[in-house]
Structure formats: structure tokens, C-alpha cells
Amino acid sequence: MWKLALAAYVISFTADLFDGMAARAFNQTSKFGAVLDMVTDRCSTALLLSVLAIIYPKYFQIYLLLMALDISSHWMQMKAAGQMHHKSSSRNFVVSFYYDNYYFFGYCCVGAEFFYIFMYALRFCPEEWYKQYVYMIAFYVMLPGCAIKQFVNVCQLAAASTAIASGDAKDANEKKQ
């Protein structure tokens, strides 16, 4: 059963990549599609992190923190972006660099998701020789991308929060005048 769950998640993750490419290629992008894509990404990742929190109880709080950071940073970025696309609205250098460099962005996203996927596989895989390879790929190839993505999420959360608070302060100052 774990292999089926793993395959379904990988297929879903891969399809998500190609549906965005197809939407851009056929000029079928929309604000609704961008939001729907982000929401489904956040839900998928949250569900996987929830499963990891259950099967690795020692790291329960870390997985919950990663989930909260992922959801809150993206939600705040969407709110701060207003009518702009969330990937093009940040004034923060780190966040802008992350979204503007497609291959770097891709490595971090794939690194994070596949680190989580490999952690799931490591829990259930019975073959020791296979576990060694999965462990090496997870920790030496995917974990750096995952760690960078979490750093970007912190920067994104801070920058978006600052932008929203600045907007609130501006509105409050204008009301006083």
C-alpha cells in the first residue's frame, strides 16, 4: 500500500509541474488557476507532512512547524501580492532571487518535496540496500534544497508581513489626515 501512496504522490507532483507549463504554453493562465495551484500544493504538502509527523513521532513538532511555515508564508505572500502574481511581487532580495531563477526555484521545490517523499519511503522500505541509496539521495541531494526552501519561506513570511503592516500603517495615517 505504501508504494501505491508514494506513486500517487509522485504522479500528482509531476502532473502539477506539467499542467502549469501547459497553461503558460497555451496562454490559459488565470488568477484563479494560480491560487488553485498554490492551494492544492499547500494541501498536498501539508498532508504528506502530517503523515510524516505520525510515522516519525520523534520529529512530530518539526513536521508541524514546517507545515505551518509553508502555509503561512505562502498565504501572507498571496495577501501581500494583492492582484499581482505571488511569485513576482516581493521586494525581498532572497524571495525575488528564488522566484526569478527557475532552475534554482525548481531544485528547491523538488528538493523539499522529494526529501519528504524519501522520508516516507525510508519508513516502509524493507530492503536495506535500497534504503542506503534512498538515504544518501534524501540527505545529500534533496535536503539542501529543502533547507534553502525553508529559509526562503522565512524570508517570504517576514517580507510579506512587513508589506502588509506597512500598507496598514499607510492606510491608518491617511485616515488621520
Looking at residue 128, what is its pLDDT? 85
For residue 83, pLDDT beyond 80: no
Write the pLDDT tens digit of every residue in 113-132.
Answer: 999 999 999 999 888 878 99
Give the residue among 35, 64, 69, 72 at the shortest CA–CA distance from 48: 64
Residues belonging to the active site: 41
CA 111-66-30 angle, 5° bins: 70
Instruction: Give the pLDDT band of residue 84 (cuts 50, 70, 90).
Output: low
Counting residues of the chain whose pLDDT is more than 90, the rounded percentage is: 70
- Domain-wise residue ranges, the chain: 2-176
Q: Fold for domain 2-176?
A: Four Helix Bundle (Hemerythrin (Met), subunit A) (1.20.120)
Interval 156-166: pLDDT, tens = 999 999 999 99
Q: Which residues contact 145 (CB under 8 A, 6 or more apart)?
A: 107, 108, 109, 110, 111, 112, 115
pLDDT value at 30 more than 80: yes
- What pLDDT score does 137 carry? 96
Residue 7 confidence (pLDDT) above 90: yes
List the single range of 49-63, 85-99, 137-151 with lowest mean pLDDT.
85-99
